[in-house]
């Protein structure tokens, strides 16, 4: 399986607020950042495209507890928490997809309240590889939308981490993605296939 410009890596929300020290930390956030950095380098070297989604909420966003939502304030526009994790290294030519800037839209999916679908289709992408944070929310919804929109979709299972509000949420999310037609794969297998 060779990567081509019709393939895309979609890095979901690898931001400081979703890693250690952030307002909604995933325990494995830094590990995910490092794995996605390796993935981004491989995809770029092979001529594939790299997109990084970024939660980009205004103050008082509807998903925040203060506004009646379920979450503490996170990824507020221009804040350190909204910045990509320092161990996420993105290659030249990557594209950033900001989402959740509409105060009324939660935008778990990278396709919601963004132009990701248009960018992928304009670029001729038909196959996406998805990893990032968090498995049970933004990764889940991004993968489900990718499948709904007709993209061949691979879930990088060694490059995701779950919030686990309830034990088992991560595994349940993976099961939902697979049921929707996503293919589980580890980065090592993609690298092996592309270099073989």
The answer to whether 50 and 8 have CB atoms below 8 angstroms apart is yes
The answer to whether 113 and 105 have CB atoms below 8 angstroms apart is yes
Residue-level pLDDT at 194:
60
Residue ranges and CATH numbers for the domains of the chain are: 7-195 (3.40.50.850)
Residue-level pLDDT at 167:
95
pLDDT band at 106 (very low <50, low <70, confident <90, very high): confident
- Catalytic positions are 13, 99, 138
Q: Please, which residues bridge with residue 184 across strands?
A: 155
pLDDT digits (tens, 9 = 90+) for 39-79: 999 999 999 999 999 999 999 999 999 999 999 999 999 99
The answer to whether 139 and 101 have CB atoms below 8 angstroms apart is no
Give the integer Cα–Cα distance in Å for 36 and 161.
12
Give the integer Cα–Cα distance in Å for 159 and 196.
22
The answer to whether 105 and 111 have CB atoms below 8 angstroms apart is no
List Cα–Cα distances, 105 to 57, 60, 79, 100, 175, in angstroms.
Answer: 9, 12, 19, 6, 26
Q: Would you give the DSSP letter of residue 145?
A: H
């Amino acid at each position: 399986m060779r990567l081509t410009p019709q393939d895309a890596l979609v890095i979901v929300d690898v931001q400081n607020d979703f890693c250690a020290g952030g307002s909604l930390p995933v325990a494995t956030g830094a590990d995910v950042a490092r794995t996605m950095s390796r993935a981004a380098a491989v995809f770029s070297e092979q001529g594939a495209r790299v997109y990084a989604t970024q939660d980009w909420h205004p103050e008082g966003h509807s998903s925040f507890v203060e506004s009646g939502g379920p979450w503490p304030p996170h990824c507020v526009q221009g804040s350190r928490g909204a910045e990509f994790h320092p161990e996420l290294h993105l290659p030249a030519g990557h594209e950033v997809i900001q989402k959740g800037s509409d105060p009324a839209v939660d935008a778990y999916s990278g396709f919601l309240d963004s132009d990701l679908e248009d960018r992928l289709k304009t670029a001729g992408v038909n196959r996406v590889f998805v990893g990032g944070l968090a498995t049970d929310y933004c990764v889940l919804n991004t993968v489900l939308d990718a499948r709904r929109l007709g993209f061949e979709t691979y879930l990088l299972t060694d490059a995701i981490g779950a919030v686990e509000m309830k034990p088992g949420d991560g595994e349940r999310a993976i099961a939902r993605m697979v049921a929707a037609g996503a293919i589980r794969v580890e980065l090592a297998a993609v690298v092996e296939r592309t270099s073989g």
